[in-house]
Structure 1
């Protein structure tokens, strides 16, 4: 069921989103060669604790951290552990926070050291920006998916199917695909909240597989980029709820 939120509810979601943005900014600042993924998790948890928020349960299994850290060929599902980041790595970070009953989540991908993947991240961010711009009342979910897909496919990148985003209740309707046809899908109405989270696979293929630990990885071993924001559809245009 697709829920429409009042202006007050959107403000509450925005407060949760602000905490997520602060946590991701702190993680980005702390990301460096030699840093362990568990250290990044501690940085994010400190931000959440300071704001009175709790992790929103971004991962499907218990015992996960305040963030997810997916390195290089990992697309989603990585639990922050003792892995040390190396020069040239690419680490995708998902953070979800629950504040006063409201859940927000967002994703960034951060190049480590002298990573050659800066352009990959830029493409993901460009797809995200175009998707957000298309999230306007009177349009449809397919318009957003199409805007994202044009950028990703235009760059020659792979785009995995599924891998639903996180939202109000960690996973909430409507799901926004990363490739779609304009004019299709659920109508975009004021008060609707969507998660727009482009994923690109550098190798060009779309195939991904889950390993024995539940981490989704590119089948060809190429790097993945995952970026995303929670966005509200309003009469005045898109409102990014997880912006800094």
Structure 2
């Protein structure tokens, strides 16, 4: 299903996107050496409930997972990259942490993710990998607009990731979003320009470049959810929800300090 939002729903999407951005920035500031992943999950739940919103994850039960996800945020550490299920782990200096959050409010969902290094340890290769996903996301957003095609976004993202030297996995990528978290169209992180669905004003997309340092192969953790790099290498993941408008692409999950 591909949804096209009317102006009323688009206004609600902006509201939900701002909430997701605010929660992620708060959680990032609290994620320091010694912070437990289960505490991050509890904080996420409290902020979602206080805002009168609903988690898109807690009851999420797709075919590729093992039962309901059961948590309010994805917390992926080091070699984990997607669907990181929070567990009893205290963050250490130098950990690469990805926070991925999707919530719904007013009947419209928004989804975003960010990766960062915990503490003061220097990890230039990890910083470069995070930067590559951020640049790829910016390129994908720049390629989005009315009349563009999904392949244009995928090509822009994939070009940045490939030129940075990272293998690209196409099993999981960006997606449509609206009244539910995951909708068509699928947005692979590499592709051919000029192909695929033509973008229309009112369409919401969650774009999410993610990479693993030296492999494109994923393995599923024993929890039945967390996806890790097959080689144990580090990973990075950056995501924004955007709205296609008559003027181009509007980022709905931009933190307040980064807004123009």
Aligned-residue offset at 1:100: 2.2
Give distance in 1, aligned partners of 2:193 and 2:106: 36
Does 1:243 find its partner at 2:254? yes
Which stretch shifts more, 162-171 or 97-106?
162-171
Does 1:94 find its partner at 2:100? yes
Which stretch shifts more, 155-164 or 130-139?
155-164
Instruction: Give the alignment's Cα RMSD to 1 decimal.
Output: 1.5
User: Aligned to 1:208, which of 211, 218, 227?
Assistant: 218
Give distance in 1, aligned partners of 2:69 and 2:239: 23
Gaps of 5+ in 2: 62-66, 256-260
Contact 2:173 2:189 in 1 (8 A): no
Which structure 1 residue ranges, 4+ long, deviate > 3 Å from structure 2? 58-61
Matches within 5 A, 1:1-244: 1-57=1-57, 59-60=60-61, 61-62=67-68, 64-113=70-119, 114-116=121-123, 117-165=126-174, 167-168=177-178, 169-203=180-214, 205-214=215-224, 215-244=226-255
Residues 64-90 of structure 1, C-alpha deviation per residue, up to 9 Å, x if partnerless?
222110111111122112111111111
Aligned-residue offset at 1:34: 1.1
TM-score by length of 1: 0.94
Aligned-residue offset at 1:231: 0.8
Contact 1:89 1:115 in 2 (8 A): no
Residues 148-201 of structure 1, C-alpha deviation per residue, up to 9 Å, x if partnerless?
011111111122122244632121111111001110111111111111100111
Give distance in 1, aligned partners of 2:232 and 2:173: 21
SS of the aligned residue for 1:170 comes to coil
Contact 1:140 1:185 in 2 (8 A): yes
Report the count of equivalent residues. 243
Contact 2:189 2:209 in 1 (8 A): yes
Give distance in 1, aligned partners of 2:69 and 2:207: 26
Aligned-residue offset at 1:17: 1.1
Give distance in 2, aligned partners of 1:81 and 1:210: 15
SS of the aligned residue for 1:19 comes to helix
Give distance in 2, aligned partners of 1:175 and 1:70: 22
